[in-house]
């Protein structure tokens, strides 16, 4: 990369048709690019390529004006990856790298990443026995006794701050009839992504948000904009 930087070779962007790009990469025997281009073609997306000397690559960009802008470089990791994240496909090698205008900026970035690793909630959660994760509920924590202490202290702190500011707390049902979601507009837009069940010929759904149900709390009695006015 430093050799490329010394040459200061310009990156040239070109727009070509999907058919041209498919023919180009098919001639090179690059089945992966051909597969991607067939999808882009079916979606009607435009195709851009970048040239750097004799090297041509399919890329949306943007790129630097030229390789001379590349200064501080660091390879972050090298890993194997299945094509399109499918274990049935061939494993390829993936190289991750970064570049910055100065070594100082690169060093600061690497330091920031190391600090983030030290403070990673997954690492701390495991070491302090706060919570664990399991594939049966991806991304959702199973709170351990130590973690519940932190969880409840945060709840207490939050409630105390809300109380100081005069907030009033309510709680609404998790599961309600689809009538509400039809009225709020959620059903017509998100029903395919909402958890629903049917009981006694009535369809219910887990609430995706609190707002629609909170309107029923507000409507349960007459109210005036003057009722809570302290001026």
Distances (CA, A) of 127 to 113, 130, 154: 19, 8, 20
Is 180:212 a contact under the CB 8 Å cutoff? yes
- Residue 149: pLDDT band with limits 50, 70, 90: very high
CATH of 1-70, one of 3.40.190.100, 3.40.630.30, 3.40.50.2000, 3.30.54.20: 3.30.54.20
Kindly tell me if the per-residue pLDDT of 14 is higher than 70: yes
**105-134 pLDDT per residue, tens:** 999 999 999 999 999 988 999 999 999 999
Nearest Cα to 63, choosing from 48, 46, 75, 78?
Answer: 48
Kindly tell me if the per-residue pLDDT of 164 is higher than 70: yes
Kindly tell me if the per-residue pLDDT of 231 is higher than 50: no
Residue span(s) of the chain under CATH 3.30.54.20 come to 1-70
pTM: 0.58
DSSP per-residue string spanning 146-166: HHHHHHHHHHHHHHHHHHHTT
Kindly tell me if the per-residue pLDDT of 2 is higher than 90: no
Is 216:205 a contact under the CB 8 Å cutoff? no
Kindly tell me if the per-residue pLDDT of 226 is higher than 80: no
Residue with tokens 């499918």: 86
**CA-CA-CA-CA torsion sign (161, 163, 165, 170):** positive
Helices 31-43 and 18-28 pack at an angle, to 10 degrees, of: 170
**Residues 6 or more apart from 200 whose CB is under 8 A from it?**
none
Q: What percentage of residues in the chain have a pLDDT greater than 70?
A: 98
């Amino acid at each position: 990369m430093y050799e490329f930087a010394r040459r200061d070779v310009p990156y040239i962007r070109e727009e070509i048709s999907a058919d041209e790009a498919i023919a180009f990469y098919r001639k090179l025997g690059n089945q992966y690019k051909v597969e991607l281009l067939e999808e882009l073609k079916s979606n009607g997306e435009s195709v851009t390529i970048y040239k750097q000397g004799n090297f041509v690559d399919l890329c949306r960009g943007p790129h630097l004006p030229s390789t001379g802008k590349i200064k501080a470089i660091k390879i972050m990791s090298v890993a194997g990856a299945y094509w399109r994240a499918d274990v049935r496909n061939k494993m390829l090698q993936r190289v991750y790298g970064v570049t910055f205008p100065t070594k100082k900026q690169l060093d600061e970035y690497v330091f920031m990443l190391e600090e983030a690793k030290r403070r990673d909630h997954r690492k701390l959660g495991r070491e302090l026995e706060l919570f664990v994760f399991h594939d049966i509920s991806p991304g959702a924590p199973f709170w351990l006794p130590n973690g519940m202490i932190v969880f409840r202290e945060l709840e207490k702190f939050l409630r105390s701050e809300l109380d100081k500011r005069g907030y009033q707390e309510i709680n609404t049902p998790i599961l309600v009839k689809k009538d509400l979601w039809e009225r709020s507009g959620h059903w017509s837009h998100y029903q395919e992504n909402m958890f629903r069940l049917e009981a006694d010929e009535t369809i219910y759904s887990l609430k995706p948000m609190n707002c629609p149900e909170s309107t029923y709390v507000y409507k349960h009695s007459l109210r005036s904009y003057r009722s809570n006015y302290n001026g």
